Each structure stands twice: as C-alpha cells, then as structure tokens.
Chain A
Amino acid sequence: MTTIKSLEDLKKLREQALEKRKAKSASGSTQVIVAMGTCGIAAGARDTMKAILETIEKEGISDIIVTQTGCIGLCEREPIVQVVVGENPKVTYGKVTPEVARQIMHDHIQNGKIVENHVIPM
C-alpha cells in the first residue's frame, strides 16, 4: 500500500534527485525505447526492459527516459531497442537480449560508443 510514511520517503528522494540534477550540467537527455508489441513481448522484451531498468538503478544513471512502443514492423529482429542520445540520430538495435541490453547501457549510454554488431540499419 502507498502509505503516508512512504510518501514522505518519496519527498526525500525527490529532493535528492533535484540536488543531483543541479550538480549535473545540462548534458542532454537520453531516451531508450523498448518495442513491446506482442512480437516483442513473445521474444523476451520484458526481460530486456528489466535489464535496462536494473542497470539504471545499479549504476545510478539519471537524465534518462525509458519508454515502450508497439510493434515497429521488424518482428523477426525482436527484441528491439532504440536509443537517442542528445541530438544524435536514433540508433535501432535488434536481438537485444538482457546481456546485450546491459552492453548497450554501458557502451552506448554511459560511454557514447555504439554497439555496432547489433545495429539494424534503418
């Protein structure tokens, strides 16, 4: 249950998050999109999404938006993840297992290096 106590906790978390934002200069936001159509889910996209969120928690990655989308018409390449870093063009990855997702989070999101062998040319 969402108790009053836990809402107070939330207030603290909010203040912490605000502090962190202030400390971090405008580095440009990052967006991660996980394709979660029937095809994606059947191919394991929920585990992929789970790995992404766990990495965010573990590594404390802020300034990142994670969202889902439906089938994008490449069902055979699912699970599919798209990454947009700042002003850079969108990169679409295919066959993103949880392991590949962790690699994308590390190489691409944190170090700006695209994971070439999983890129789907669009």
Chain B
Amino acid sequence: MKEISLHLLDIAENSVAAKASNINITVIEDIHADRLVMVVEDDGKGMDAEMVKKVVDPFVTTRTTRKVGLGIPLLKAAAEACNGYLTIESELGRGTRLEVVFQRSHIDRMPVGDLATTLLHLVIAYPEIHWVFKYQVDDKVFLFDDAPIKRELEGIPLSDPDILSYLRAEIENGIGEIKPADSW
C-alpha cells in the first residue's frame, strides 16, 4: 500500500471485524522528535498472546484453519524499514491497541496520504461504531468525535447527501488546517 492512510483503513477494518463499539484513532506527526505515530485502539473481542504472534508474523507458524491476513505484517515491515516499529497489545474480551511508529524524515517513509477520505469512509460505512479521531501536528490538534453529530441527527443516515457534504467539509478542513506541507 502506498499511503499510511490506506494502512489505517486496513487496520481499522480489523477493529470493525473484532466487533468493536468504540474505535479511537490517533495520528501524531511530531516534527521535532522526527516521529510519525499511528495508534488504533478498540474495545473489540481482543486476541490471546498466540493470536497476536500470528497476526504479526503469519509465516512462522504452521497454517491453521484460522485466516490470518497480511495487512499487519506489511505495515510492520514498512515501519521497520523506517527505523520504526509496530506493537500490538491485546486482551481477550477487552480490546486491542495497535501502535506503529515511523522515523518521520526517513526517505522510505510512505506519505500519510488522504487521511480525510479514510476517516470519512469509516464514519459513513460503520455508523453503529463510535469513532474518535485525533490528529496532532506538534502542539496543534484536530479532534473529531462523531457522537455529538449522530446525537444531533437522530437517525438521519450519515450517507444523506447534505450530511455527507457536511462531514466531508468538517474532516477535510480540520485536517487541512494543521497538516504540514512536507509530509503529503
């Protein structure tokens, strides 16, 4: 995948598949510390230690009936190629926290890409999930919480054309206001 935001979409889909009700996404561009951090936290069904090992490195274990994808290993390899790392903390019945870190200035770091589109799609596609998104560039923060919006809409679908335009503008402007020019 060519963008961190495409990986974000992929990782968030895992949280959706784990039947999470709350998914928190954090993207931090720490220019001074030269780090780019992405965290996806959910309250889904979680994994045991063995499963965590498998999703991170699907080729070390013999194949089982359980399906293990390549999304996480691909992202881990990309982070490690940029002096970074990927960690997963998970507990059965509690949820999962995935953190991936890149050296921000690394020549091989893929661009952050279209973060706004990724987020908009998640919010629209899974309205039953409570999404909280935080994007931080140094000390500037854009926080998007879809709960007050849904409360206000009282059942009007988010995919209504006018609501869609509203959400798009809200997210695009919020991210656009603080995104640094050099990382996209």
Q: Which A residues form the contact surface with B (CB < 8 A)?
A: 1-2, 6-7, 9-11, 13-14, 16-18, 34, 36-38, 41-42, 46, 49-50, 53, 56-57, 59-62, 64-68, 70-71
Contacts and interface: CB of A to CB of B under 8 A. Distances in A.
> Which 7 A-B residue pairings sit nearest by Cβ, starting from the closest?
A68-B125, A38-B71, A60-B161, A13-B162, A17-B156, A10-B152, A67-B125
Contact of A13 (B125, B163, B168): B163
Given A2-B170, A14-B153, A14-B156, 10 more contacts: A1-B143, A2-B145, A2-B148, A13-B162, A16-B162, A17-B160, A38-B10, A38-B71, A53-B120, A68-B126
Given A36-B9, A60-B161, A14 B152 contact: yes
B121 interface: yes
Interface in B134-162: 142-145, 148-149, 152-154, 156-157, 159-162
Contacts of B148: 2, 7
Interface residues of B, number: 42
Contacts of B114: 46
Interface of B: 1, 6, 9-10, 13, 16-17, 69-71, 74, 114, 117-118, 120-122, 124-126, 142-145, 148-149, 152-154, 156-157, 159-166, 168, 170, 174
Contacts, number: 105
A7 B118 contact: no
